[in-house]
Chains A and B, each alone.
Chain A
Amino acid sequence: MSRPGEREAATRAPAAAAPKQNMIGAAIERREDYRLLTGQGEFLDDLDMPDALEAAFLRSDLGHARILGIDTSAALELPGVVAVFTGDDIRPMMKPMPAKVAHPALQEMPRLPMALDEVHYVGEPVAVIIATSRYIAEDALELIEIDYEDLPAISSTAAALAPGAPLAHLGARDNIAVHVVQRAGDPDAALAAAPHVLSGTFAITRSGGHSIECRAVAARYDTVTRQLVVWDSTQAPHYARNALASLYDMQEDDIRLIAPRDVGGGFGPKAQFYGEEAVIGWVAMQLRRPVKWIEDRRENFISAMMERTQTHRIKVAFDDDGTLIAMKDVFEHDQGAYVAGLQVPMITLSTVPGQYKIPHIHTELYSCYTNMVPTSSVRGAGRPQAVAAMERMMDRIAEYLGLDPAEVRRRNLIQPDEFPYKVGIMFRDGSPLTYDSGNYPELLAGTLERLDYDGWRRRQGELRAEGRLIGIGIACYVEGCGLGPYEGAKARLTNRGEVLVTLAAAPQGQGYETVYAQIASDALGLDMDYIRVTTGDTGRIPFGQGTFASRITATAGPAVLQACQALRARIFATAAIMLKVEADNFVFRGERVCLAEDESISVTLREVTQVANVGKHGITLLRGVTAGLETQAYFAPERAAYASGAHAAVVEVDPETGRVTVLKYVIGHDCGTVINPLLADGQVLGGFAAGIGNALYEEQFYDEAAQPQTTSYLDFSLPSSMEVPPVELFHIQSPSPLNPLGAKGAGEGGTIPAPAAIANATEDALRSFGARINEMPVTPPRVAAAIAGRAPAAR
């Protein structure tokens, strides 16, 4: 993927990693692979729980309705059914699950573990059946009778905001969850005085995370230790544990929440907390029997959180040479039926300005309640929409002034010597939006060079003469990543003479067992063979936040680095006392801790652990040795780090069918220090596949009664190998000054600008028709409508 020079750059170790093992930056193959390739993975439903009962949820089949009565008696009589619980049956823990990211102005409607009196979307849990098998539990679902009073449902932000609209929640003031404005400079005056102002309206629709493993939860209450153990296919085990402790009113140590070693993809929806998680743990405690719920794909379509639907009305002001003066973007965000968190629209609010210097900024959010599945982060998390709004306008400015769109971007890019760059508004982490480092001109230039931008611009005209519609699209972005508050790690010398690194964070395919062993290896100066990594278990480390927002490398990475540096010092201090030497200059040679100047003077790691950890009952510890070779570090970044990138696409449009084919695609990516180039490439290329889905295929439809129309992969397109085009990827590395690794995040950069780049390319291909692409994904019907001049503005 990358060129030799870049690989070289990628192997440069950062300044802070003291002893050089040179594992940071090395393309190490993964430790996780063997078990996954041989069918020995440990996904939740693979765990051996022969005595577990199985759960199935009865879900609302109406978008908005009042529950008048529920009759579960027939279901209870079915052989094999052990219990049925409705919302009313679990009242002691029926407390609202608060929004994870809130705002003082938020009109928060209570989100309960199961519905009580009113349902607000198709798929909302209403009751749960516990049976001896999932087959029987599903049989019993059909025996529950619910008496509903159908209510008007809201199925779009436009419907939510229409004058006199019915309410998505009967008790609400209106359908606006929150209205937030961010401003820098004097945007109104600047817009009024500017020589040129253009406006555009752009919309992007819902898709989902679509991890191939759906959600899954199992719970067992240990009546002896009085501890509830929950296995949860989650991105955020500590967050889920805290939520359960709060709902159940239990002490945090009395709940052990384990994200299984293998979780089959996350992509955002598994970082949220759901009613099903609360119900399964509660039911296991009530029944004193283990209970397991494995979500099926239809449930995932109608109850796992989704994202994307926004409509942006954006204005840009600029001078005669295309220099930006002001930007004003007012957007509607589809929050769905409940606010599980405001992170997505809050991220959008601050992502619109992107890589450009804009003196006067106004971004404004109307987050709307609708009667659809609640929305929250899906890979990209509010950024693809923001980038689409801004980058589409950059192309419109170029078109208006008769300039090359690459040149318009170049004239407005923040320059490498302008970091740290203060944008003038706030980021969602509560700090002033400040870009830490980057080199945007180099990213753009490298991307265009690899695309052969000038060559394609020439060929575009020649091919147009042959009747072929070729378009070129560019999109640049920044991604706030590595967010706080903190992430933690422990390092311990075990009884077997190995270093065990315990991360609070849990992986879903990112290769933590490999990546954090690499970081630990460099921090310790110890061969990776003596290092093991364990993840995602609240019983092993008390505090953590979770895997989301491309944050773990930049937060858990430094925590591992610091914990292991401290452990190295502790091991060496112990060795010095054991060897009765004054020296503090040691090295590891295999499992031996050796005096640097004379390596024949050494002790083994096992001997060290025998002295400092295992000890001898009743015998005094060697003078000077501190017992317990375990260290921990919690790394709290000062603020978000900013990854960045540029995407460029060449597409061909078939005017007959409206089909868009990607001919060439280049990604320039800067996530700071690359820890493992093999895995970093994997993150970006995987993210790109999701971006192609967002750009061209994925669309969750609801009808006007808020009935979902896409509830299987027969009516929803997820990109296969036929749809994801080849891509050329290169990295530049602008280390972040905000953490000792210089790391940023790599999980979402492949996704974020793809819809903007593809939409720009498509509109470019259709420029001679004057066609406007205002809605994403850019599906054949939308392209055909644009060519026919029937697609004036987004909804």
Chain B
Amino acid sequence: MNPEASEEAATQVRVTVNGREHRAITDVRTTLADFLRHKLGLTGTHLGCEHGVCGACTILLDGAAVRSCLMLAVQADGASIETVEGLAEGGQLSPLQAAFHRNHALQCGFCTAGFLMSITAALREGPVETDEHAREVLSGNICRCTGYAAMIKAVLETSMQLHGTRAAS
């Protein structure tokens, strides 16, 4: 690679994260994940593979669950972002976070933020009422500690709490 290539072009990025607006200067090649973690200090979003498979870096971008390792910060300019830091309100765990705690659905906790964001997006779309559906919701993220059983339970319990249950289930 040509040495000149590392003389980095910088640009300003403006994003709203968890309801708060941030403006920061960043190199154009900085990923959104690195921008959130190291520019904004929101280190709850983690990087597990940096190639879009493990899902640890999942955030919500204008409501959609996306891999923040596969996007550049500049691509998020003007977007509204939600990260794990925004889930609890006033120190109170969200129903999903509380269900994770109750069911021991996390061990090392490194992948947890990504799972929480993926599930949050899914539960906004509607209820999750079967094991199979819960497995599908979780299938875009990888956890090496838990074996998923407790997470499946946490998803179903949270769905019940947020959406109520249907006669069919």
User: Are A and B co-members of a single complex?
Assistant: yes
Which positions in A face B, CB cutoff 8 Å? 29-30, 32-34, 36-41, 43, 45-46, 48, 74, 77-80, 135-136, 139-140, 142-143, 209-214, 262-265, 267, 296-297, 508-511, 678-679, 681-682, 685-690, 712-714, 718, 720-722, 724, 726-727, 750
Q: Are A38 and B85 in contact (CB under 8 A)?
A: yes
Closest-by-CB residue of B relative to A140 is B6
Residues of chain A within 8 A of B136, CB atoms compared: 721-722
Which of A143, A262, A263, A685 has the most B CB atoms < 10 Å from its CB? Answer: A685
Binds A, one of B122-130, B145-153, B156-164: B145-153
Given contacts A37-B88, A296-B50, contact A211 B147 (CB under 8 A): no
In the complex, A714 Cα to B139 Cα: how many Å? Answer: 14
B166 part of interface (Cβ distance < 8 Å): no
Q: In this assembly, does B73 line the interface, its C-beta being within 8 Å of a C-beta of chain A? A: no
User: Which residues does chain A contribute within 8 Å of B116, judged by CB atoms?
Assistant: 37
Q: What are 8 A-B residue pairs whose CB atoms fall within 8 Å in the complex? A: A36-B106, A37-B101, A37-B109, A41-B109, A212-B144, A264-B110, A265-B108, A297-B54
What's the least CB distance linking A679 to chain B, in Å?
Answer: 7
Closest to B151 in A: A721
Check A139 against B108 for contact (C-beta < 8 Å): no
Query: CA of A262 to CA of B44 in the docked complex: distance in angstroms?
Result: 12
B147 touching A685 by the CB < 8 A rule? yes
Residue in A32, A43, A267, A297 whose beta carbon sits within 8 Å of that of B144 in the complex:
A267
Kindly provide the distance from the CB of B119 to the nearest chain A CB, expressed in whole angstroms. 11
A285 to B21, CA, bound (A): 40
Contact (A721, B108) CB under 8 Å given A79-B6, A139-B1, A686-B145: no
Distance of A170 from chain B, by nearest CB (Å): 33
Chain B positions near chain A (C-beta within 8 angstroms): 1, 3, 5-8, 27, 29-30, 37, 41-51, 53-54, 56, 83-85, 87-88, 93, 97, 100-102, 104, 106-113, 116, 131, 134-136, 138-152
Given known A-B contacts A33-B106, A264-B110, A265-B145, A714 and B27 have beta carbons under 8 A apart: no
The 7 A-B pairs at the shortest CB distance, nearest first, are namely: A39-B44, A264-B110, A509-B108, A36-B109, A509-B107, A713-B53, A689-B147
Given A38-B44, A139-B6, A712-B51, decide whether A682 and B150 contact each other with a Cβ distance below 8 A.
Answer: yes
When C-beta atoms are compared, the residue in chain A nearest to B112 turns out to be A36
CB atoms of A30 and B101 under 8 A apart? yes
User: What is the chain B residue whose CB lies nearest that of A678?
Assistant: B104
CB distance from B4 to the nearest CB of A (A): 9
| In contact, B49 and A713 (Cβ under 8 angstroms) | yes
B93 touching A212, Cβ below 8 Å: no
Partner of B108, one of A29, A74, A264, A690: A264
Chain A contact residues, majority secondary structure: loop
CB within 8 Å for A685 and B46 given contacts A79-B7, A265-B108: no
Contact assessment for A210 and B144 in the assembled complex, using a CB-CB cutoff below 8 Å: yes
Most buried by A among B41, B136, B140, B144: B144
The residues of B that contact A296 with a CB separation of less than 8 Å are 50
Residue among A36, A78, A210, A726 facing the most chain B CB atoms (10 A cut-off): A36
Q: Is the CB of A721 within 8 A of B138?
A: yes
- Least CB distance from B47 to A in Å reads 8
Inter-chain contacts of A685 with B (CB < 8 A) = 146-147, 149-150
Q: Which of A33, A39, A136, A510 gathers the greatest number of chain B CB atoms within 10 Å? A: A39
Q: Which of B37, B54, B152 neighbours the largest number of chain A CB atoms within 10 Å of its CB? A: B54
Q: Which residue of A lies closest to B135 (CB)?
A: A721
A542, chain B: closest CB distance, angstroms = 26
Looking at the complex, which one of B113, B131, B147 makes contact with A688 (CB distance below 8 Å)? B147
Question: 6 additional contacts, CB 8 Å, given A34-B101, A39-B113, A212-B46?
Answer: A30-B101, A34-B93, A45-B47, A139-B1, A212-B54, A720-B139
List chain B residues, Cβ under 8 A from A690. 144
The answer to whether A750 touches B108, judged by C-beta atoms less than 8 angstroms apart, is: no
**Residue of chain B at shortest CB distance from A689:** B147
Which residues of chain A are near B87, meaning CB under 8 Å? 37-39
Q: A213-B110, A297-B50, A712-B53 are in contact. Are A718 and B142 (CB under 8 A)?
A: yes
Of B3, B108, B134, which contacts A263 at CB under 8 A? B108
**When A39-B85, A264-B46, A722-B135 are in contact, do A143 and B3 touch as well, CB less than 8 Å?**
yes
**Bound: A712/B147 CA distance, A:** 21
A30 touches B51 (CB 8 A): no
Contact status B147-A724, CB under 8 Å: yes
**Judging by beta carbons under 8 Å apart, are B135 and A508 in contact?**
no
Interface pair A33/B3, CB less than 8 Å apart: no
Residue of A nearest to B131 (CB): A726
Q: Which residues of B contact A79 (CB under 8 A)?
A: 3, 6-7
How far does the alpha carbon of A678 sit from the alpha carbon of B100 in the complex, in Å? 13
Residues of A within 8 A of B151 (CB): 721
Closest to A690 in B: B144
Which of B43, B84, B142, B149 lies at the interface centre, i.e. has the most chain A CB atoms within 10 A of its CB? B149
Residue with the greatest number of chain B CB neighbours at <10 A, chosen from A78, A510, A687, A688: A78
Q: Give the chain B neighbours of A724 by CB distance below 8 A.
A: 147-149
**Chain A residues near B97 (CB-CB < 8 A):** 37-38
- Report A-chain residues with C-beta under 8 Å of the C-beta of B88: 37-38
Q: Would B146 and A686 count as touching, CB distance under 8 A? A: yes
Q: Name the residue in A46, A136, A212, A720 with the highest tally of chain B Cβ atoms < 10 Å from its Cβ.
A: A212
Residue of B nearest to A81 (CB): B6
- Contact residue among B8, B51, B141, B147 (Cβ-Cβ distance under 8 Å from A714): B51
The winner among A43, A510, A690, A721 for most chain B CB atoms within 10 A is A721
Residues of chain B lying within 8 A (CB to CB) of residue A29: 101-102, 104
Cβ–Cβ contact A689 & B44, under 8 A: no
**A369-B21 Cα distance, complex, nearest whole Å:** 56
Residue from B45, B84, B140, B145 having most chain A Cβ neighbours under 10 A? B145
Chain B residues positioned under 8 Å from A143 (CB to CB)? 1, 3
The reply to whether A37 and B45 contact each other, CB–CB distance below 8 Å, is no
Q: How far is the CA of A511 from the CA of B85 in the complex (A)?
A: 22
Contacts of A135 in B (CB 8 A): 6, 8, 27, 29-30
* A340→B146 CA distance, assembly (Å): 28
Contact assessment for A682 and B146 in the assembled complex, using a CB-CB cutoff below 8 Å = yes
- Shortest C-beta distance, B35 to chain A (Å), equals 12
> Residue on B with the closest CB to A36?
B109
Contacts of B107 in A (CB 8 A): 265, 509-511, 682, 686
Q: Which residue of B lies closest to A37 (CB)?
A: B97
> Contact between A32 and B1 (Cβ–Cβ < 8 Å)?
no
A511 to chain B: which residues have CB within 8 Å? 107
- Supposing A80-B6, A212-B54 touch, asked if A37 and B108 sit within 8 A by C-beta, the answer is no
A74–B84 CB distance below 8 A? no
B146: A residues at CB distance < 8 A: 682, 685-686, 689
For the complex, give the distance between the alpha carbons of A43 and B151 in Å. Answer: 22
Write the chain B residue with the least CB distance to A33.
Answer: B101
List residues of chain A with CB within 8 A of the CB of B48.
212-214, 264, 297
Alpha-carbon distance between A262 and B106 when the two chains are bound, in angstroms: 12
A30 and B106 CA atoms in complex are apart in Å by 10
CB-CB under 8 A from B106, the residues of chain A are: 33, 36-37, 509
Q: Which residue of B lies closest to A297 (CB)?
A: B49
User: A212–B114 Cα gap in the complex (Å)?
Assistant: 11
Closest to B100 in A: A37
Q: Which of B5, B30, B43, B104 is within 8 Å of A139, CB to CB?
A: B5
B88 CB, nearest partner CB in chain A, Å: 5
Using A38-B97, A722-B136 as known contacts, say yes or no to A264 and B6 having CB atoms under 8 A apart. Answer: no
| Contact residue among A77, A267, A686, A750 (Cβ-Cβ distance under 8 Å from B3) | A77
Closest chain B residue to A75, Cβ basis? B3
